[in-house]
Chain A
Amino acid sequence: MTDSWHIDTALLSDYEEGTLSPSRVMAVEAHMLACAGCRTRVPVDYTWLTGNFSVIYDNVHAPRVGPLQRLLTRLGLPEHRLRLLTATPALRWSWLAATAAVLGLAVAVSWLDWSGAAAMSTVFLALAPILPVATVATAYGPSADPMREITGTTPAAGPALVLWRAVAVVGVAVVMAAVAGLLLPGPGWFAAAWLLPALLLCTGTLALATSLSLPVAAGTLGGLWLTGLYAVVRVVRDDVFVPLVFGPPAQFGYLAAAAAAAAVLTLRRRRFDLGESR
């Protein structure tokens, strides 16, 4: 066929203008596949071709978007922000650690009798505020992020990145700890009682991290929290402990302290830097 018949000028012109029927387009293209002579007569639009190649290349290679990401995009989170949060491997491990901790606590409680469960609930209230702080702290450092030296020397490696990452890990930890709190035996307010201490520890850690490294800041405040609780346990009766540490006056104190830490954090935010070693 290629020897006896070739695309004439009129047909080629119609093909280029896109006025041929689909069946004739297919016939012309089938012929051009086999006939180098006719193929070379079709002018190549490099801009169009490059553009199409780029779209195909990106569709093949770009990271897949999962249902959660689609949901967050619909909720208004910008694509680049989402990419930053979901692509950080260190955060995945932090989330995993948080999940394991919460599930472990829940499983332990389910195996205890009521008196043991009551004690475990108290332990939960003491440890739950530490969980978000621990997840933030483990999201950084050379062991958590092998690419730290690269990511830490990019323009984004400032306070905004630290805070976005902190929000991401704290958000997940808070949701999981809240669910565990609801499942635990005891009064319903247990599910929320630890939230303000957790907020204080998180903002306090981030404020302290403007002077110390984040893991050291987290360790310091986490240690102070547990030491303080231990000291209270030693001096008050068991039935007074939870109302004293998690009751309304204490909660107000946590809120005030968290606000103060947030103020310090705002004032000193420029000292946040993932790149520069402290």
Chain B
Amino acid sequence: MTGLLGPNGAGKSTLLRCLATALGPDAGSIRVHGFDPAVPAQRTEVRRRIGYLPQNPGLYPHFTAYDLLDYVAVLKEMTDTQRRRAEVRRVLDEVELTDRAKTKVRKLSGGMRQRLGLAQALLGDPELVILDEPTVGLDPEQRMSFRALISRIGERRTVLLSTHQTEDVGALCERVVVMSGGRVVFEGGPKELAGVAEGQVWLSESPPVRNTAYWRNADGLYRTVGPRPDGAEATRPSIEDGYLLLLGTAVATGAVR
């Protein structure tokens, strides 16, 4: 599972939309499983191998969960009625919505709707699942449950997940790609991302005098990312520290306070 991390406007969604063939690249080239989405015939091959959950899936509100999946299954070239229905049942079971099959989309909770969005991406058992900000708008419990689901899905598929939440990446991904201003600024494991801030994260009892980024944590200590404040002790960096440092946010004057 790979996490695509970056602030708003970093280009995460644009990259995912290009990979999912929703958008053609202005420059450069893309290969998905060896196929070029810019070539119409190969684009279809890409689409046969991916499942895509966009940031705003726009699931038809008056459809039932079953109807919606059945419809997307037809679009995914499942022409045999019996096989298609078996696949709909399979994905409903995979996202734990079997008992909600008859419920209209508008009556599902935010978490269930997101699971339904994931279910449509899983139709046809794609080799690559692309999820654009799947945990946005979910409450902590729903996010936890959704993370567990994504984690299970990632056990036997490649999952590419965009997020601006470092907790998601830390909890789910073996590989992280950080984007900023449309460019990749880091690629590696979550520990390596945290390692970027090694020796640059400090805890002190008083706020740093220097004009640097800091915040007060739950223990009442000041956590500083950047140059060592007077009297501060080094602490273990988190993924978030590495991420902030990479983006230059942590050392920007008062950017994170």
Q: Spell out A's residues near B (CB within 8 Å).
A: 54, 57-58, 60-63, 78-80, 83-84, 87, 89, 145-158, 161, 270-271, 273, 275-277
Contacts and interface: CB of A to CB of B under 8 A. Distances in A.
A19 B26 CA distance: 73
B252 interface: no
B42 to A, nearest CB: 11
Given A57-B101, A151-B75, A276-B23, A271 B40 contact: yes
A156 B76 contact: yes
A148 B40 contact: no
Interface stretch (B55-63, B135-143, B191-199, B220-228): B55-63
27 contacts: A54-B86, A62-B66, A80-B78, A80-B81, A80-B84, A83-B74, A84-B71, A84-B74, A146-B58, A147-B57, A147-B58, A147-B60, A149-B22, A149-B52, A149-B56, A149-B57, A150-B120, A152-B22, A154-B76, A156-B74, A156-B77, A157-B47, A157-B75, A270-B41, A275-B43, A276-B23, A276-B37
- Interface class of chain B by DSSP: mixed
A84 to B, nearest CB: 5
B220 to A, nearest CB: 46
A148 B120 CA distance: 13
A271 B50 CA distance: 21
Given A87-B63, A146-B60, 4 more contacts: A58-B85, A148-B58, A273-B43, A276-B22
Contacts of B101: 57, 61
Nearest to A147: B58
B64 interface: yes
A57 B146 CA distance: 25
Contacts of A157: 47, 75
Nearest to B64: A61
A151 B102 contact: no
Residue with the greatest number of chain B CB neighbours at <10 A, chosen from A63, A149, A150, A276 = A150
Given A155-B48, A275-B22, A79 B81 contact: yes
Nearest to A278: B24
A87 B22 contact: no
A153 B20 contact: yes
A97 to B, nearest CB: 18
Nearest to A149: B54
Nearest to B50: A153
A151 B101 CA distance: 20
B102 to A, nearest CB: 6
Contacts of A148: 58
A155 B24 contact: no
A188 B70 CA distance: 45
Contacts of A270: 40-41
Contacts of B43: 273, 275-276
Between A60, A156, A158, A277, the greatest number of chain B beta carbons within 10 A of the residue's beta carbon is seen for: A156
Nearest 4 Cβ contacts at the A-B interface? A146-B58, A154-B75, A61-B66, A270-B40
A8 to B, nearest CB: 39
B40 A158 contact: yes
B21 interface: yes
Contacts of A89: 60, 62
Contact of A155 (B17, B23, B60, B76): B76
A180 to B, nearest CB: 29
B171 interface: no
A277 B13 CA distance: 14
Interface in B76-109: 76-79, 81, 84-86, 89, 101-102
A65 to B, nearest CB: 11
B70 A63 contact: yes
B67 interface: yes
A83 B22 contact: no
Contacts of A153: 20-22, 47, 50, 52
Nearest to B20: A153
Contacts of A151: 72, 75
Given A61-B101, A61-B102, A84-B74, A150 B52 contact: yes
Contacts of A57: 89, 101
Contact of A63 (B41, B50, B52, B67): B67
